[in-house]
Structure 1
Amino acid sequence: MKYRPKHIAEYLLLRAVCGLIALLPYRLALALAWAGARLAFSGFRWRRRQALARIRQVLGDTVSAREVRAIAWRSLRNMAFNLAEMVYMGGARPRRLPVEIDMQAALDRFRDYTRANPGRGGIFACPHTGNWELAGVAAPACQIDMFTITGLQKNPLVNAYLQKLRHSPGVELLERGTPNLLRKVLANLRNGRFLAIMPDLRSRQRGVPVRFFGGEVNLYPGMAQFARQANIPVFLAVMKRHGWTRHVMELHGPFEPDPALPKDEDILRLSQAVMELLDAEIRRDPGQWFWYNKRWILDPFPGPDAR
Structure 2
Amino acid sequence: MKVALYRAKLRAQRAAKDVVGKIVGPVAIGALHLARKFDPDKSARLFGAVARKFGPRFPEQRIGRDNLTAAFPEKSSDEIEAILSGVWDNLGRSAAEFAHLDSVWDYDVEHPERSRIEVTGRSLELFEKLRDDGKPALIFASHLGNWELPAVAAVAHGLDTAVLYRRPNIEAADRIVEEIRSVKMGQLVAAGSSAPFKLAQALQDGKHVGMLIDQHFTKGVDVTFFGRTAKANPLLAKLLRQIECPLHGARVIRLPDGRFRAELTEEIEPVRDADGRIDIQGTMQACTSVIESWIRETPEQWLWLHRRWR
Q: Does the TM-score normalized on the shorter chain lie above 0.5?
A: yes
- Are residues 129 and 153 of structure 1, via their aligned partners in 2, closer, same or farther at CA, if it must alter by over 3 Å? closer
Q: CA deviation at 1:37?
A: 1.1
Q: Does 1:107 align with 2:120?
A: no
Partner of 1:33: 47
TM-score by length of 2: 0.82
2:48–2:88 CA contact under 8 A, matched in 1:
no
- Are residues 88 and 266 of structure 1, via their aligned partners in 2, closer, same or farther at CA, if it must alter by over 3 Å? same
SS at match of 2:72: helix
Partner of 1:71: 83
Partner of 1:221: 234
Q: 1:298 aligns with which of 281, 303, 309?
A: 309
Q: 1:234 aligns with which of 223, 231, 247?
A: 247
1:212–1:276 CA contact under 8 A, matched in 2:
yes
2:131–2:159 CA contact under 8 A, matched in 1:
no
2:120–2:263 CA contact under 8 A, matched in 1:
no
Q: CA deviation at 1:225?
A: 0.9
Partner of 2:112: none
Q: CA deviation at 1:244?
A: 4.6
Q: What does 1:276-291 align with in structure 2 at a 5 Å threshold?
A: 276-291=289-304
Distance 2:212 2:148 in 1: 11
Partner of 1:193: 207
Structure 2: any 5+ residue segments left out of the alignment?
1-17, 107-114
SS at match of 1:254: coil
Q: CA deviation at 1:249?
A: 1.5
Give the paired residue count.
284
Q: Does 1:254 align with 2:267?
A: yes
Q: What does 1:10-159 align with in structure 2 at a 5 Å threshold?
A: 11-42=25-56, 44-61=57-74, 63-89=75-101, 94-96=102-104, 100-105=116-121, 106-113=123-130, 118-159=133-174
Distance 1:166 1:119 in 2: 26
- AA partner of residue 127 (structure 1): S
- Are residues 277 and 13 of structure 1, via their aligned partners in 2, closer, same or farther at CA, if it must alter by over 3 Å? closer
Distance 1:264 1:76 in 2: 41
2:144–2:251 CA contact under 8 A, matched in 1:
yes
C-alpha RMSD of matched pairs (Å): 2.6
1:62-121 per-position Cα deviation (integer Å, ceiling 9, x unaligned): x222211111111110010000011133xxxx5345652222432212223555xx2211
2:252–2:263 CA contact under 8 A, matched in 1:
yes
1:221–1:267 CA contact under 8 A, matched in 2:
yes
- Are residues 265 and 137 of structure 1, via their aligned partners in 2, closer, same or farther at CA, if it must alter by over 3 Å? closer
Q: Does 1:211 align with 2:224?
A: yes
SS at match of 1:60: coil
Distance 1:280 1:15 in 2: 35
Distance 1:32 1:173 in 2: 29
2:270–2:278 CA contact under 8 A, matched in 1:
no
1:40–1:46 CA contact under 8 A, matched in 2:
no
1:128-155 per-position Cα deviation (integer Å, ceiling 9, x unaligned): 1100111111111111111112233344
Partner of 1:303: none
2:271–2:278 CA contact under 8 A, matched in 1:
no
- Are residues 36 and 263 of structure 1, via their aligned partners in 2, closer, same or farther at CA, if it must alter by over 3 Å? farther
Distance 1:196 1:58 in 2: 27
- Are residues 288 and 15 of structure 1, via their aligned partners in 2, closer, same or farther at CA, if it must alter by over 3 Å? closer
Distance 1:7 1:216 in 2: 33
- Are residues 28 and 171 of structure 1, via their aligned partners in 2, closer, same or farther at CA, if it must alter by over 3 Å? same
Per mean C-alpha deviation after superposition, the further-off stretch among 23-32 and 73-82 is 23-32
Q: CA deviation at 1:198?
A: 0.9
1:85–1:97 CA contact under 8 A, matched in 2:
no
SS at match of 1:69: helix
1:148–1:197 CA contact under 8 A, matched in 2:
yes
